[in-house]
């Protein structure tokens, strides 16, 4: 017998993930992520919405399939489908008298967690969703309001501060607000190609454009979070600087750069396969509908400048 299970990976504004203690006869007193079995009349997403509403009283708005795994228990094959919940309404509460726990992902290995969750734990310990700031498009006040909303459900894991067309004063004013929110919610920030701004506000993590990487001299002041790479460019400078990630794109066609050729998902997959010593961020045309496909092709993270901020 096959059983489909829909499971929600849910974060709060401090980056802690939600767990539920099983109080059922099978595997009792193990911690698990909220969710449950799909009914015959449902698809997986409908089951996800129903289970999370019935179990913890939240209405989910945006989500994507993060990871799939099959587990055989006696004569039953359980098909586990883990969804990253991006936006939701309500505060999780135990509708079924179960115990709930918000826990830092780094501490997941210290609790009695179901062993079927080993791989998903590894995945959620790493940053996945990178938002690239776009106050220059939304306006500073509007952008900050949207950013605060995204922080409430930890819709993003990292903010890359870009906004190249803002003048120096406006960009610094914007960053003062961003840094204050980041400190309050323990949220990581990366400065995009602006060493002066990073130095002024003591931000160590930076993103470099491909052109900047040619002349940048590695030093103790900065950690290179990522370097942008487009198809056909020389990897020599990137290999010397050893960033945590290579930002590869555009993966798909984008509205902001309609004339730029995209790499395509298959070409990205082949490139990643040939250069396994790096981790990769996908950028360009990324949205909730294609994230699963992007992650399956070998990317470790995804980044977006416009699509993420337009969600609700």
Domain range for 143: 129-310
Same domain, 156 and 58: no
Q: How far apart are CA 30 and CA 177, in angstroms?
A: 41
Which of 74, 102, 124 is the C-terminal boundary of a domain? 124
pLDDT in tens, the chain (312 residues): 899 999 999 999 999 999 999 877 677 789 999 999 999 999 999 999 999 999 999 999 999 999 999 998 888 999 999 999 999 999 999 998 899 999 999 999 999 998 889 999 999 999 999 999 999 999 999 999 999 999 999 999 999 999 999 999 999 999 999 999 999 999 999 999 999 999 999 999 999 999 999 999 888 889 999 999 987 788 888 888 999 999 999 999 887 777 778 999 999 999 999 999 999 999 999 999 999 999 999 999 999 988 888 755
- Residue 306: predicted pLDDT: 84
Q: What is the CATH number of the domain that holds 71?
A: 3.90.79.10
**Token pair belonging to 51:** 């289970």
Give the list of residues 6+ apart from residue 256 with CB closer than 8 angstroms, or none: 305, 306
Enter the DSSP assignment of 249: -
Total domains in the chain come to 2
What pTM did the predictor assign?
Answer: 0.93
Residue 57 sits at the vertex; the CA angle it makes with 51 and 61, to the nearest 5 degrees, is 75
Is the previous residue joined to 250 through a cis bond, with omega within 30 degrees of 0? yes
The dihedrals phi and psi of 273, each to the nearest 5 degrees, come to: -60, -35
- Rounded to the nearest 5°, which phi and psi values hold at 47? -65, -40
Question: Is residue 120 located within the same domain as residue 141?
Answer: no
CATH number reported for the structural domain that contains residue 187 in this entry: 3.20.20.70
CB 71 within 8 A of CB 41: no
Looking up tokens 């299970």 gives: 5
What pLDDT does 312 receive?
A: 54
Strands 205-208 and 223-229, sheet pairing: parallel
Same domain (yes/no): 119, 135: no
């Amino acid at each position: 017998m096959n059983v489909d299970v829909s499971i929600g990976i849910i974060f709060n504004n401090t980056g802690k993930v939600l767990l539920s203690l099983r109080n059922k006869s099978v595997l009792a007193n193990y911690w698990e992520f909220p969710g449950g079995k799909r009914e015959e009349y449902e698809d997986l997403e409908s089951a996800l919405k129903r289970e999370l509403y019935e179990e913890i009283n939240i209405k989910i708005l945006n989500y994507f399939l993060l990871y799939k795994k099959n587990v055989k228990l006696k004569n039953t094959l359980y098909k586990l489908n883990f969804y990253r919940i991006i936006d939701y309404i309500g505060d999780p509460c135990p509708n079924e008298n179960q115990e709930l726990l918000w826990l830092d992902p780094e501490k997941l290995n210290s609790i009695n967690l179901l062993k079927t969750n080993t791989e998903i734990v590894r995945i959620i310990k790493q940053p996945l969703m990178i938002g690239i700031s776009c106050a220059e498009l939304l306006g500073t006040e509007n952008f900050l309001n949207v950013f605060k909303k995204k922080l409430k459900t930890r819709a993003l894991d990292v903010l890359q501060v870009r906004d190249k067309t803002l003048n120096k004063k406006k960009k610094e004013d914007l960053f003062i607000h961003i840094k204050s929110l980041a400190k309050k919610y323990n949220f990581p920030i990366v400065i995009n190609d602006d060493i002066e701004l990073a130095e002024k506000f003591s931000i160590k993590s930076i993103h470099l454009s491909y052109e900047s990487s040619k002349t940048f001299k590695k030093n103790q002041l900065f950690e290179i979070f990522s370097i942008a790479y487009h198809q056909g460019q020389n990897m020599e400078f990137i290999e010397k600087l050893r960033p945590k990630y290579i930002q590869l794109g555009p993966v798909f066609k984008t509205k902001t750069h309609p004339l730029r050729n995209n790499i395509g998902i298959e070409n990205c997959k082949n490139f990643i396969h040939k250069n396994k010593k790096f981790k990769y961020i996908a950028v360009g045309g990324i949205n909730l509908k294609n994230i699963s496909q992007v992650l399956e092709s070998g990317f470790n993270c995804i980044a977006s400048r416009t699509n993420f901020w337009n969600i609700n």
